[in-house]
Homo-oligomer: A and B are copies of this chain.
Amino acid sequence: MGVEVIKWREGTLSIVDQTTVDAVVEAIRQLRVRGAPAIGVCAAYGILVGIRENGSADSAAVIQAVEQTAARLAATRPTAVNLFWALDRMRAVTARAEAAAMSKEALYRALEAEAAAIDQENVALCEAIGRTGAPLVTENAGVLTHCNAGALATAGAGTALAPLFRASEEGRRFTVYADETRPLLQGARLTAWELVQAGVEVVVICDNMAAQVMREGKIDLAIVGADRIAANGDTANKIGTYGVAVLARAHDIPFYVAAPYSTFDPKVATGDDIPIELRPAEEVSQGFGPRTAPALAAIYNPAFDVTPARLITGFITEKGIIAPPFREGIAALRETGPND
Contacts and interface: CB of A to CB of B under 8 A. Distances in A.
A237 to B, nearest CB: 11
B204 A207 contact: no
A305 interface: yes
A283 to B, nearest CB: 9
Interface in A180-217: 180-183, 185, 188-189, 192-193, 195-196, 201-213, 215
Interface stretch (A109-117, A295-303, A317-325): A295-303
Contacts of A177: 300
A71 interface: no
Given A188-B293, A196-B297, A203-B298, A208 B239 contact: yes
B180 A292 contact: yes
A204 B293 contact: yes
A250 B246 contact: yes
Interface in A28-54: none
Interface string A201-244: 11111111111110100000000000000000000000110110
B211 A246 contact: yes
Given A285-B188, A293-B188, A240 B208 contact: yes
B205 A208 contact: no
A284 interface: yes
A317 to B, nearest CB: 25
B196 A243 contact: no
Given A285-B188, A292-B185, A209 B239 contact: yes
A300 B207 contact: no
A179 interface: yes
B206 A239 contact: yes
A301 to B, nearest CB: 8
A204 B212 CA distance: 22
Most buried by B among A180, A250, A289, A293: A293
A203 B299 contact: yes
B208 A292 contact: no
Given A208-B208, A243-B247, 8 more contacts: A177-B300, A188-B285, A189-B293, A204-B300, A208-B239, A208-B243, A288-B290, A288-B292
